[in-house]
């Protein structure tokens, strides 16, 4: 979807921005699905290439030797599946950790991750709780890596200096302008 299309429909810029932001979320979700499916596809391609290359070796092989090679290939496939499962688990953990850092207000995920014991967090039985505790510890020790949730302390009204409503200076100004003294 393009911004120009929405402008041609006569929509206001702030409405267009909201529509584009929501569309961006949908696109990001679909890209994550695509990444996962591409990872599975690449895994199957590797398996096919390995199997095809191994089958070429069997053109002139006797059946007894083939059985040994089949067992070897089955083991290789199991190893590849285990390797893929480990890669997928690492990717999911990494995404979870990055999302937790983002939720905690981290400014730079790589910097925050450098201060975490990632291997210990991967091995944890309750990862989400342990990640939260670890992020709280980093937030306490290195708060500059995180955004602040404190409100800005910018006074808007008088700060108690001279020239306020109740001071003699304002009464003199009112008298000079011919206005009556302000009643409190």
| Distance between CA atoms of residues 47 and 51, nearest Å | 6
Q: What is the pLDDT of residue 33?
A: 92
Token pair for 183: 């009643």
Residue 150 · residue 123 · CB < 8 Å: no
Non-local CB neighbours of 174 within 8 Å, separated by 6+ positions: 180, 181, 182
Q: What is the pLDDT of residue 149?
A: 63
Non-local CB neighbours of 142 within 8 Å, separated by 6+ positions: 115
| Distance between CA atoms of residues 47 and 41, nearest Å | 10
| Structure confidence by residue, pLDDT tens digits, 22-37 | 888 989 999 999 999 9
C-alpha distances out from residue 164 to 124, 156, 181, 183, Å:
61, 13, 14, 14
Q: What is the pLDDT of residue 3?
A: 81
| Distance between CA atoms of residues 171 and 165, nearest Å | 8
Token pair for 7: 């402008």
pLDDT tens, the chain, 184 aa long: 788 888 888 888 888 888 888 888 989 999 999 999 999 999 999 999 998 888 887 677 677 877 888 899 999 999 999 999 999 989 998 999 999 988 888 888 888 888 988 888 888 888 888 899 999 998 888 888 887 666 656 556 655 555 445 556 788 888 888 888 877 6
Q: Which of 38, 35, 56 is nearest to 46 (CA)?
A: 38
């Amino acid at each position: 979807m393009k911004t120009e299309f929405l402008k041609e429909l006569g929509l206001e810029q702030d409405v267009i921005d909201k529509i584009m932001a929501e569309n961006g979320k949908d696109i990001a979700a679909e890209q994550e699905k695509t990444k996962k499916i591409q990872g599975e596809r690449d895994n199957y391609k590797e398996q096919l290439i390995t199997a095809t290359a191994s089958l070429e070796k069997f053109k002139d092989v006797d059946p007894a030797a083939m059985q040994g090679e089949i067992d070897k290939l089955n083991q290789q496939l199991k190893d590849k599946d285990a390797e893929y499962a480990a890669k997928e688990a690492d990717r999911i953990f990494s995404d979870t950790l990055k999302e937790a850092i983002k939720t905690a207000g981290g400014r730079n995920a790589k910097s925050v991750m450098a201060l975490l014991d990632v291997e210990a967090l991967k091995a944890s039985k309750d990862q989400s709780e342990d990640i939260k505790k670890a992020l709280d510890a980093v937030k306490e020790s290195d708060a500059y890596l995180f955004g602040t949730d404190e409100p800005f302390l910018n006074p808007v009204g008088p700060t108690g200096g001279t020239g306020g409503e109740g001071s003699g200076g304002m009464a003199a100004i009112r008298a000079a302008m011919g206005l009556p003294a302000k009643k409190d």
